[in-house]
Structure formats: structure tokens, C-alpha cells
Structure 1
Amino acid sequence: MAYLGPTTDAGSAHLQHALFARLHDFGYVEGKNLLLERRFAEGEYDRLEALAAELVAFKPDVLFVSGTQGAIAVSRVTRSIPVVFVTVSYPVAMGLVRSLAYPGTNMTGLVNPSDLLSRARLHLLKDLVPKAKKVAVLHNSQNAVESLMLAAIREANEKLRMSLAQLAVTSEQDLSMAFDALSGMRADGLYVIESPLNFMHRARIIESVSEEYLPAVYGFSEFAEAGGLMSYSISLVEQFRIAADFIDKIFRSAKPAELPVVQPAKFELVINVKTAKALDITIPQSVLQRADRLIE
């Protein structure tokens, strides 16, 4: 088996645990009956294809990959090795599968419904700050998938009629400049897109946001757990856990082309009440009542 991650080994340790603990439940144990090769891009998208090629050369029975850019990279180097993906946005539009119901390629897995979530998060931010006039959006301009997310955010904003300002970053070094720009733009809130780059540097981003005393909404609960104000997302841990079911089926000779891509049935709104108090932000009762989890 091969494993390709877009971030770091340490930063995704809890997700790897979910995947391999579930595989252990199926009887697969690394070092006994599971031979495993791992590679991590550490947030550098331009490394993904080379790392994917390294893993393909290993000739695994199945290749696991996290994230849209990683899945695209894998698709460029193999159309034969079975691939299981998680947290992939727009898999049909990206040419990874022919349809969700019948993938028809060497790939299958679980999607991240970015269109739906992008719209919902912007509305949540507006509900949190009803008087907001201007919202900044932190995104990676080198990630083609994020251009589709930005389009969904702009579409949601047609009714909200706020001013949207883009903060483009392509590396950790860009974050300082982005937050310097944020300081001068007098934004009423911040939307942090759930890119691997932002995920990997979430602690630094959250610290910078707190210094601005700015309401912010994030993708993935890991941001709220790390001190971010609010997140609305799929469960990454659950996606990694369910991916093990796909891997087990493929080990038992199932074909990815015939395994329907899974869409999440549940989304989770997490609010960090402790952070709200520290930032002197009052969470409207209407938002608190919708929360699935409060961090206090």
C-alpha cells in the first residue's frame, strides 16, 4: 500500500491514526501483512507529482491520497493502480471519475462538497457579524480547485452584498504579507479556505487572526480545535476512517471503477466559545443554537 499526503507526517498524524486503526480492525497490520510506503508534500504542490511517481514505482496494490491536488497528481502518473482518495473537491470536473455513482476509472473515495460548504460558511460569517460590509478571503492562488471555491463564495455573496477582498498566498512566507495587508483593509471578517497550505499552518494563521481581533470562519474542525473561532465542515477523521473500507474492498479484489464515490451525510459546526470571549465577540444565539459542538 502507498500513502500520499499533501501536508506533513506530524500534522496529519491523527488522520493517519483513523485510517490505520480502521485497517487494523480489518486485520491489516503494518510490518506484518501490510507493506506501506508514505510520502508527504509538506504543502508544496509542485512536489506532489514526483512523489506520486515514486509511489507508483513501488507498484502498490492500492494507493491512498488525500486532497484534490494530490489526487490530480496521482491521476497524471497512473491510470491503472487502484486509488482511494479523501477530501477531494469536484472529482468529476477534475476528470478523476466519470460520475460519483459509477467512477469508471482507477479512482474512488470520498468527496468534500466544497460548493455547498463555501456558500454555507459565508452565510455563517454574515450571521455571526450581521453588520459586516467587507470580508477577506485567505486562499492559495496556485491551487486551481480554490478558484472554483472562490466562485462559489462570490455566488453566495450575490445575496449578501458584502465586499470581498482576496488574500492570496502560495507559501508559508506569504502569510506575513497577507496579514499585513489584512491589517490595512479594515475587513469585518475573514474566511479561511481549507487548503492544505492553510491547514498545515493553521496555528500560525489562528494566532495572526487573534492579533487582529477579527471574526473568522474556517474549513475543518481542526481549526476550531486549535483556537479558531468557528468551523463548518465534513469530518476529516471520518473520511479517513471510511477510506479504510474502500481499501479493504480493493484488497479483496473490488474495482475502484465500480465502487461509488461517497458524499458526506453530515456536516459539523464547531464554535470555540473560549476564543469568542478572548476576542470579545458575542456569538448570536441563533448561531449558537445551530452548533454541533462548543469548545469552552
Structure 2
Amino acid sequence: MRRRDFTTMVGGMALACARPATAQTSAKTWRLGTLSPGAPISENSPNGKVLLATLAQHGYTLGGNLTYEARAAAGQIAKIPPLLQDLKASGVDAIVAIGYPPALAAKTTGIPTVVAFGVGDPVATGLIDSLAHPGGSITGISDMAGPLSAKRLSLLKELAPKTSRVAMLWNRDDLGMSLRYEASAAVARSLDITVQPLGVREPDDFEGVFEAMNRQPPDAILMVSDSLTTLNRKRVFDYAAAKRLPAIYEYDFLVRDGGLMSYGSDLAESFDRAAALVDRIFKGAKPSELPFEQPTRYPFVINLKTAKAMGLEIPPNVLARADEVIE
């Protein structure tokens, strides 16, 4: 059952389709690379489709004046540098990256890079000089962890008012996600919520995380999403279901895959805007002069099927606020 059927996104795509394609005066074939720390942003993936559809509206036709090279590390961060060298050798004109480790590695190549999401605070990590004037070779889409974390925690409290202890899972080896955790933890303390810090560095660490929660049971879980936590999401879903723990995630694809609820940026919008930044780079703009942008849409999604399987009753006021309810 959908509450709002993502009409805003659909309307935005319709407007994009209505825009006349920008004529390309050059006979050049543009080469775009993508780099993900997890699964590849393939041509047929949801995010890849948005990226290429928006580029098509700007006049770049795959198989015509655009080639597309998707690379992914499958959770093995050590693979990122050679993947980047492969992209560089193929002569890409720009890279669309996901996450802080790929963005940091791309910075060393000097290839113009657009971060689509998952980079954390790019200023605090030293990735860029400022949001308004990034400097260097990187621009993209960012978000503010503090306000988003406050919203996620407030949604957990609305769902389960007695929540006072929240387990936070994040990748300790990802500086962007560690800073996101710290921002989330600071917000939690301001809301009188005790934080149970559960950082992981590799898949085997999840068993230790679950053991820690068995020893000191939290009231809820907040998972900070990067390639490591996302690739191990089913283990978190299963633990939360077995213990009947409310859990909130950062992106709606995690809820569609079995998580309870999410609040975070609309990835379709992020990839649409990333494509627009790529177009500007292809037209001669320097990433250093293109300000980082903030998402404007943050869908709240609930998986009612997951809630029912857990025996968890979702209050009517929480259901009414959801942008989408998955049954």
C-alpha cells in the first residue's frame, strides 16, 4: 500500500523527459565510469537507469556519443585503486562514485569525479575544501548527518516510545561513516538516548556485534549504511527480527529488501542530479567550481510485512506519515 506513490519523483522524471535534449556540437564520444564499493552501477540497475536516462535528456546517447564503464569492489576496498587505474586506462572523462573510499581514491587520479551518495561529510573528512568551493577534482551530492539522525531517532521513539538505548552499527574503517556515526551519537545523547557503539571492520565482526547486543540488549537499532553494512544487511535484518527489535536504515532499498523502516535521501533524485553535474563537467566545468548539492527529498518508508512478521504494531500516526508502506 503506497501513501504517496512517489508522485514527486515521477513528476520530476516526466519533467526531465519533457526537456529538450541539449545538442552536442562536438563529435567526441564521452566516456563515463562509475565506481561502487559494493555492487556495480550497471546499465540496468535502478540507479544506473536514472543516471543514463538523465544523461540522455542532456544529449548523451549510450552506444552513440557515450560509453559507460561500471566497476565495483564487491566490498573489498583493496580492489578500488586497481579498478580506478583500469578506468583511467580506458580514458574516462568523468567518474560517478559511491561512498567515501572510492571518492578518496579517485581524488588521487585527478579524474573529474561526482559523488552520488554515501560520502559522509566531505569537508570534515578533508575530501574537499568547502561545499561551496570544493577545490580539486571532486563534487557531488552530500547530506547533513545531524538533522537526518535526529529524524531517524525521533521516528524510532514514535514507533516505540520507551526506546532509551539504541545500538548503532557502522564501519569503523570508513572515515566518512565514522564521522556520520559520531554525529548520530551526539544527536542521540541530546535526545537522552544511550548509544551502544558497535563498529565493524569485516564481515566476521557482525557475530561479535550480535553477541554484544545479547549481553546488553538495546531497544532499537540504527544502521549506518556503507558497503560493509549493506552487504551484510540480511544478517542485521534477521537479528532484528529474531529479537523483535525496531530498526531504522538510511535508504529505502534496504527496506524493500526486508528492513523495517528507512529515512534518507531519495537516491533517484541523487543520481538524477549527479548526471546533471556530469553534463556540466563534459561541457567544460571544473569540479572545483561546482558546489556540492544537498538532496531535497527524503522519503520515509515502512515495510509492514516485516513489522507483522516481528509482531510489531506500527502506530497509526507513524503509518500516516510514511511516504510509502510496503505490504
TM-score, normalised with respect to structure 2:
0.82
Assess if the C-alpha contact under 8 Å between 2:157 and 2:163 holds in 1: yes
The SS at the match of 1:158 is helix
> 2:65 corresponds to which residue?
33
Amino acid aligned to 1:42:
A
Deviates more, 1:226-235 or 1:39-48: 39-48
State the match for 1:275 in structure 2: 306
Are the aligned partners of 2:135 and 2:287 in contact in 1 as well (CA < 8 Å)?
A: yes
**Aligned partner letter, 2:176:** V
Give the match's secondary structure for 2:270: helix
The 2-side partners of 1:277 and 1:135 are apart by 21
Pick closer, same or farther for the CA change 1:115–1:43 going to 2, 3 Å: farther
User: CA 1:50 to 1:113, structure 2 compared with 1: closer, same or farther past 3 Å?
Assistant: farther
Amino acid at match of 1:85: V
Find the counterpart in structure 2 of residue 165 from structure 1: 196
Aligned-CA RMSD value: 2.1
Contact 1:123 1:156 (C-alpha < 8 Å) held by counterparts? no
Of 223, 248, 252, the match for 1:192? 223
Q: Is the 8 A contact 2:256 2:326 kept in 1?
A: yes
Letter in 1 for 2:323: D
TM-score after normalising by structure 1: 0.90
Partner of 1:55: 87
Of 17, 25, 40 in structure 1, the residue corresponding to residue 49 of structure 2 is 17
- Letter of the structure 2 residue corresponding to residue 33 of structure 1: N
Residue 121 of structure 1: how far off its partner (Å): 1.2
1:64 aligns with: 96
Partners of 1:153 and 1:89 in 2: how far apart? 12
Among 244, 248, 251, which residue is 2:282 paired with? 251
- What is the aligned partner in structure 2 of residue 229 from structure 1? 260
**Equivalences, count:** 294
2-side partners of 1:147 and 1:251: how far apart? 33
Q: Is the 8 A contact 2:51 2:274 kept in 1?
A: yes
Residue of 84, 96, 113 corresponding to 1:83? 113
CA distance in structure 2 between the aligned counterparts of 1:95 and 1:153, rounded to whole angstroms: 19
Unaligned runs of 5+ in 2: 1-31
Which string of whole-angstrom CA distances, capped at 9 and with x for unpartnered residues, describes residues 160-200 of structure 1?
32322122222233323322332332221111111222223
> In the alignment, is residue 179 of structure 1 matched against residue 207 of structure 2?
no
Distance 1:109 1:134 in 2: 34
Aligned to 1:98: 129
User: Does structure 2 retain, via aligned residues, the 8 Å contact 1:119–1:152?
Assistant: no
Deviates more, 1:218-227 or 1:285-294: 285-294
Q: Does 1:215 align with 2:246?
A: yes
Q: Partner of 2:141: helix, strand, or coil?
A: strand
Say which SS state the counterpart of residue 71 (structure 2) adopts: strand
State the secondary structure of the residue aligned to 2:74: coil
Following superposition, the deviation at residue 10 of structure 1 comes to 7.5
**What CA distance in whole angstroms lies between the structure 2 residues aligned with 1:284 and 1:48?**
44
Give the distance between the partners of 1:153 and 1:122, measured in 2 at CA.
9
- Out of 7-16 and 285-294, give the one that drifted further: 7-16
Q: Distance in 2 between matches of 1:276 and 1:13?
A: 27
Match status 1:116 vs 2:147: yes
Cα distance in 2 for partners of 1:29, 1:208 equals 45
DSSP 3-state at the match of 1:46? helix
Other structure's SS at 2:75 match = coil
Listed as ranges, the matches of 1:121-140 within 5 Å are: 121-140=152-171
Which blocks of at least 5 consecutive residues in structure 1 are unaligned?
Answer: none
Cα distance in structure 1, aligned partners of 2:96 and 2:282: 12
Provide the rounded CA distance (Å) in 2 between the counterparts of 1:198 and 1:18.
24
Q: Is the 8 A contact 1:183 1:212 kept in 2?
A: no
Q: Are 2:246 and 2:260, in contact at CA under 8 Å, matched by a contact in 1?
A: yes
Paired AA for residue 253 in structure 1: G
- Displacement of 1:9 after TM fit? 2.4
CA 1:112/1:159 → structure 2, altered by over 3 Å: closer, same or farther?
A: closer
Counterpart residue number, 1:107? 138
Kept in 2: contact 1:229–1:271 (CA 8 A):
yes
State the Cα distance separating 1:95 from its structure 2 match.
2.6
Letter of the aligned partner of 1:83 in structure 2? T
CA distance in 2, matches of 1:190, 1:104: 37
